[in-house]
Amino acid sequence: MTTITQARQAVRSRIEGGNIIFNGDPVPLRWQNEDGGPLPDDPTPFVYVEFLNEGSSIVAYGGGRAGNTHRNRCRDEAYVFVPKGWGLYAAEAIAEQIAALLRSHRDERISCFDATVIPGGDGAMLTPPGLSSEVGNYFWAACETSLTFDQIG
């Protein structure tokens, strides 16, 4: 049985293991409700990741009470921020790396399905929940991944 924490960690391990880079430099990753410190004064690319559980439903009955399989539907949202003026290509190129890691990925904990790159816009119009720093000096794109994990109970 997979817990929400294990599912989130499976996604995190997959992204961290992917060595996200742009122009030969690693892109720092920031995680939901973790203090990544202030953004640098000179804007540089970074990724902010959130893991959202959208609820569960029973997908199999078995063994009476406490033997049913509950499938949790989740989304992983990776917001890619690049300095203004770098162009949409830069943000999309980083988001595509994350999408390639998660699209159709399956392991013993999670099953990822689609991973879609979403062109963004001016960072001033978007400050993801939990990100306390100002992102007005940035442009963004996102990678949204649909995934599931199962629990028995």
Judge whether residue 18 has pLDDT over 80.
yes
Query: 68, 58 in Cβ contact below 8 A?
Result: yes
Diameter of the chain measured on Cα atoms: 59
Judge whether residue 132 has pLDDT over 60.
no
Judge whether residue 135 has pLDDT over 80.
no
For residue 22, the model assigns a pLDDT of: 97
Judge whether residue 126 has pLDDT over 90.
no
First to last CA, the chain: 9
Judge whether residue 134 has pLDDT over 80.
no
What mean pLDDT is reported for the chain? 91
**pTM for the whole structure:** 0.89
Of the chain, the percentage scoring pLDDT greater than 70 comes to 93
Judge whether residue 8 has pLDDT over 60.
yes
Check residues 131 and 72 and name the one with the higher pLDDT.
Answer: 72
